[in-house]
Amino acid sequence: MKFRVSVIAILLICFSCKKKSSASEEQTTPAVENGNLNINILSYDSLGNLEAKTYNTSVFLSGTSYSATTDSNGNVSFSLPPATYAPSVLRPKYEGVPFSAVVSSKNTSSVSSFVAQNSTYSLQITNANAVNQSSVTLSMNLSQSVPAGKQVKVAVLFGTTSALSVNSYSVVQEFFLAQQNNPNYNICSGSLQTAINQLTSGSTFRLLAVPVSYGNYFSTVLNKNILVGDYLPPVGVSTASYVLTKSW
């Protein structure tokens, strides 16, 4: 009996020591400290000019409950657990781009991005001609006059299927229009010229011209080109591409 009592006593002492040791280890484990994330958002107007101030811009960290509104200089700050975050930037009538930010413990990370106002111009292609390897023309009419001394950026998109759209393209060339009506405007240059001339004779291709404030942007987050600040047609109204045939 005395032997059994002694064994039990020894076990209790060992268990008590183990609990104290575990508690001591828990107390000495350092807590992971937050890091700081500073974000600066630039702002572009409908003609692509950098604005002096950035007002009413909300920043949400996707997948979290964190959100804030920038000050007039476009700055916002967060104190966050270490992780990689995907900020979403929202502002009425403006468009932001996807980007990411890495926050590490006890450090400050600073990133910048932008919002661009959606273009206030719509555009109609009234005629198009594929003349030769250095001349493919579009007759383009803007919905309103261009202010004196200003220009409207237009992104001309190229594709060979009906899937061509502002959300699905790979070849783009940007041009600047200084007047409302632009007859026989030659767009056959740069990447467009290369893409068209790589087609075999008799091939059909599509062109889509879209007014933009910022223009083409390659997103490393989405791993694709996106148009930023493009004109937004009314709900239910789609912008049709113009079909041409290569004759040379």
Q: Where are the domains of the chain?
A: 35-117, 123-245
Report pLDDT for 28: 62
Say which CATH topology domain 123-245 has.
Immunoglobulin-like (2.60.40)
d(CA 137, CA 11): 92
What predicted TM-score, i.e. pTM, was given to this entire model? 0.82
d(CA 222, CA 152) in angstroms, rounded, equals 27
Nearest to 210 by CA among 168, 149, 246: 168
Query: CA-CA-CA-CA torsion for 38, 214, 204, 190, nearest 10 degrees?
Result: -100
Task: Give pairs for 51-56: CB < 8 Å, separation 24+.
Answer: 54/115, 56/91, 56/92
Three-state SS across 14-77?
HHHHHHHHHHHHHHHCCCCCCEEEEEEEEEECCCCCECCCECCCEEEECCCCCEEECCCECEEE
The reported pLDDT for the residue numbered 239 is 78
Cα–Cα distance measured from residue 59 to residue 41, given in angstroms and rounded to the nearest whole number: 9
Q: Let me know if the fold of 35-117 is the same as that of 123-245.
A: yes
Alpha carbons 189 and 194: distance in angstroms, whole number: 8
Q: Beta strand pairing status for 67-69 and 58-61?
A: antiparallel
Task: Give the pLDDT score at 26.
Answer: 55
Q: Which two tokens stand for residue 41?
A: 């958002």
**Right CATH for 35-117 from 2.60.40.1120, 3.40.50.300, 1.20.1440.60, 1.20.1630.10:** 2.60.40.1120
Please give the chain's pLDDT, 248 residues, in tens. 444 545 445 444 444 555 555 554 555 666 789 999 999 999 999 999 999 999 889 999 999 999 999 999 999 999 999 999 999 999 999 999 999 999 999 999 999 999 999 999 999 999 999 999 999 999 999 999 999 999 999 999 999 999 999 989 989 999 999 999 999 999 999 999 999 999 999 999 999 999 999 999 999 999 999 999 999 988 777 777 999 999 99
